[in-house]
Amino acid sequence: MSQSNSAAGAQSGKIQWVPLESSPDAMNRVIHRLGVDASVGFSDVLGLDEELLTMVAQPVNALVFLFPLTDKFEEDRKQEATSSSNSVSPKVWFMHQTIGNACGTMAIFHAMANNQQDLPISGEMAAFFERTKDMTPEERAADLEKDNAVAEAHKEGAAEGQTAAPKPGEDVNHHYAAFACVDSHLYELDGRLPAPINHGPSADVLKDGARVIRQRIQSFADDSLAFSVISLGPSSDDDDY
């Protein structure tokens, strides 16, 4: 899977962040700065066929998918989110995106929040989840706009990339979404959408998430476009943050 500069801006909003690169190192910088134990981390998924999926460190808690934004693809997903909104479990944690170029950290938060019971989370991230647990997606977004600790962690993660980072607010044409299993169903979580997308019963986020992502990729006629998939699970990163 190729890597690319990440993250489309929010639909609107005055706050603009530097996009987060599609890199496990960048994502790990964010979560470890915010209080996630170093035993947990993000890792590259090298491919979506069965043989390559067996190489992914287990257990997999969530997937993060980077894809190019097109008007048709976004409209199709919005329709899916609207049609499945009545089937979303109340246990799903969801937040809207109101900060430009924040979708990398949004995907991180969706991946982590929907696995809180299984992951060692403390510090600023645990505080954010506790503070916003009873909030609406819109209220969580407003709270995030004021959270300096998350903004600084995102800034450090953006500086971790292997390529020169775009400027805050600069238009980029890729976007992140997270996949997680909640209440025995697979959900696609993207703060640009009106609601999570319920992809049906699942007990295996890696297998079923990879199936949905393969379908997503096949919907693009242009096979030269860049995609990447990153898993959340046991850490392979020994760096001392």
Q: What is the DSSP string of 64-127?
A: EEEEE--HHHHHHHHHHHHHHGGG--TT-------SBT-HHHHHHHHHHHTTGGGS-B-HHHHH
Tokens of 239: 């760096």
Tokens of 30: 């964010």
CA–CA separation, 105 and 97 (whole Å): 10
220-to-41, 67, 217 alpha-carbon distances in Å: 30, 10, 6
- State yes or no: is 103 an active-site residue: yes
Tokens of 91: 């246990």
Residues 6+ positions from 144 with CB-CB distance below 8 Å: 95, 98, 99, 102, 109, 128, 150
CA–CA separation, 90 and 78 (whole Å): 20
CA–CA separation, 112 and 105 (whole Å): 10
Per annotation, catalytic residue among 96, 103, 154, 174: 103
Per annotation, catalytic residue among 32, 174, 175, 199: 175
* DSSP conformational letter for 147: -
Match 């929040």 to its residue by tokens. Answer: 113
Catalytic residue annotation: 103, 175
